[in-house]
Structure 1
Amino acid sequence: MAALKEKRTCGQRCEDFGRFVWNSDNGTFMGRTPVKWVYISLYYLAFYVVMTGLFCLAIYVLMYTLDPYAPDYQDRLKSPGVMVWPDTYGEEKVEINYNTSDKCSWMKMTNILNKFLEPYNDTAQHECYNHNCTKGKYYIQNTFSAPDHTKWACSFTKSMLGPCSGHEDPTFGYNCSMPCVVIKMNRIINFLPTNETEPPPYVNCTILEGHDNVDKMEYFPEGGIMDRSYFPYYGKQAQPMYVNPLVAVRFHLVGERSAKIQCRVVSHQISYQNYHDPYEGKVDFSLKAVK
């Protein structure tokens, strides 16, 4: 019968560990002589220096080939999405519901619009170096002639939204049954919504449900037009002062004062029948004013 292995005491184990850390007989530290520790340290130093250099070279080559003003690859839709403000989203749709008798209710809508339109204040736009562009023509820029090596952007002030600007009526019509909504088309770099022979893109709203509850719709700017001078968009770094053109729609609600509405940006270059993306080229929302 094999003899059982002798059980070592704690002191013996500590002594073995100490001998492993420094063995005076062999002159080794943790199993290696000082010379070998120098060799292995130099090896790993050289190894990580080379790996770091290769990584930095790869990043440098990648950044050198990228355009800082536009992505080389875009996985966004070729046709822009459309959004509506006040952006009060329900579980599956936009629901703009408010109570004309409850100040907190309609002030919520007013505050959302005021915050959204802050970049469009006349003073803010005049402080920016945005150009007053030629209406009806695309603002093509092949050079970076604006300050800080950027491109110019056309001014869009909220006063261009007329009665829906908040100047004449700070409540945007939400204290009564004449609410305003603001339609915005999302940005796509270098996107031109029409060719030169076609009319400019414009917003058109249709009543899907509750036709008898909407007496009239008004568009601001007139005709709901998004002028060509705001296109193309060259990117955030190239046009840091760019603001999207907007269209405000004022609804005159009557009867039950509720309706389901679809607002579409009309252009041959903008698709709106994508089943998988309900916000491409259009936006559906419900509008209801209760007393």
Structure 2
Amino acid sequence: MAALKEKRTCGQRCQDFGRFVWNPDDQTFMGRTPEKWVYISLYYVAFYVVMTALFILAIYVLMYTLSPYSPDYQDRLTSPGVMVWPDAYGEEGVEIFFNTSDKKSWSKMSNCLTHFLQPYNDSMQNQNSHTCTQGKYFIQTHFSGPHHTKWACPFTQSMLGNCSGIEDPTFGYADGKPCVIIKMNRIINFCPGNQTLGPYVNCTVLEGSDNVRGMEYFPTNGTIDLSYFPYYGKLAQPTYINPLVAVKFDMVKNRKVKIQCRVVADNIAHQNFYDPYEGKVEFCLTVSS
């Protein structure tokens, strides 16, 4: 019968560990002599230096071959998304609800539009932008703008007419004739429509058509001029600003309507079941008194 292995005490175990850390007989530290520790340390230093250099080289080559002004591959979006302001989101999407007799209620909507239109200030836009030819795509093959950029066409707040907030800071919310602003999102190098007709916004009442007496578009006919296309990117066009369309609704008070505003153009889709905001936006508008 094999002899039972003698159980070692805690002190003996500590003594063995200390001998492992430094063995005076072999002059080794943790199983290796100081000379071998120098060799293995130099090896790993050289290994990680080489790996770091290869990583930096790979990143450098990648960044050198990529253009900072536009993406090499663009396969996520074929049609732009559409958004509406005031962006009052509820349980079922955008729900614009206000009471004409309650200033706190409608001022929340008008303040949202005032804040949204701050970058569209007339003097600011006319100072930072370029005079463009209306009705034509603004094709730019060279970076002729300041600091190696491309020019951007101005879109001023006053172009929104009665929905600009200049003459009526309430945007019509105080008297039950509210304005909403439709914005088409940016896609680099996207050119909507054809060479003569720009895209335009068309709003239809899906539910409660008797509750809307009429609607008015700003700019005229809700048209987005071709000179705002194509968009070349944030770095290439730092002064670019999205063109807008404002729609003023003449509402019957104490009624609710569901509205769809669509950007109409030859190559803007609007029937994507999986993306309800592609090419169009739906919202509910309720006016009470």
Q: Sort the TM-score into its range (normalised by shorter chain).
A: over 0.9
8 Å CA contact 2:259–2:283 kept in 1: the answer is yes
Unaligned runs of 5+ in 1: none
Q: How big is the shift at 1:14?
A: 2.3
SS of the residue corresponding to residue 98 of structure 1 reads: strand
Corresponding residue of 1:42: 42
Task: Flag the 1:246–1:28 CA change in 2: closer, same or farther, 3 A.
Answer: same
Return the match for 2:219 from 210, 221, 232.
Answer: 221
CA–CA distance in structure 2, aligned partners of residues 272 and 28 of structure 1: 76
Aligned pair count reads: 289
Match of 1:209 among 207, 210, 218: 207
SS of the counterpart of 1:95?
strand
Is the contact made by 1:20 and 1:31 (CA closer than 8 Å) also made in structure 2?
yes
Distance, in Å, in 1 between the alignment partners of 2:126 and 2:26 is 82
**What does residue range 53-92 of structure 1 map to in structure 2 within 5 Å?**
53-92=53-92
Residue 255 of structure 1 and its aligned partner are, at CA, apart by: 5.4
Secondary structure class of the residue paired with 2:90: coil
**Residues of 1 paired with 2:159 and 2:118: CA distance?**
14
- 1:230-269 equivalences in 2 (<5 Å): 230-254=228-252, 256-269=254-267
Deviations 1:167-202 (A, max 9, x none): 1111111112100000000101001102214x2111
Offset of 1:47 from its aligned partner? 1.2
Contact 1:265-1:282 within 8 A present in 2 as well: yes
Deviations 1:94-120 (CA, angstroms, capped at 9, x unpaired): 111111111111111111111111111
1:193 aligns with 2:178: no
Please name the residue that 1:146 is paired with: 145
Identity %: 72
Q: Which residue matches 1:272?
A: 270
How high is the TM-score relative to the length of structure 1? 0.95
Structure 1, 274-283 or 230-239: larger mean CA deviation: 274-283
CA positional deviation for 1:157: 1.1
Q: What do the CA deviations read for 1:22-51 (whole angstroms, capped 9, x no partner)?
A: 111111111101111111111111211121
Question: 1:127 Cα shift?
Answer: 4.2
Q: Is the 8 A contact 1:177 1:257 kept in 2?
A: no
Report the CA distance between 1:216 and its aligned residue: 1.3
User: Given that residues 270 and 281 in structure 1 are in contact (C-alpha distance below 8 angstroms), is that contact kept between their aligned partners in structure 2?
Assistant: yes
Q: Which residue of 2 aligns with 1:290?
A: 288
5+ residue gaps, structure 2, are none
CA distance in 2, matches of 1:87, 1:246: 15
CA distance in 1, matches of 2:248, 2:44: 71
1:270 maps to a residue whose letter is I
Q: Please give the per-residue CA displacement for 1:99-158, whole angstroms capped at 9, x wherever unaligned.
A: 111111111111111111111112332442x11211111111101111121111111111
Q: Which amino acid aligns with 2:88?
A: T
Alpha-carbon distance, 1:11 to partner: 2.6
Q: Residue 97 of structure 1 aligns to a residue in which SS?
A: strand
Distance 2:276 2:92 in 1: 11
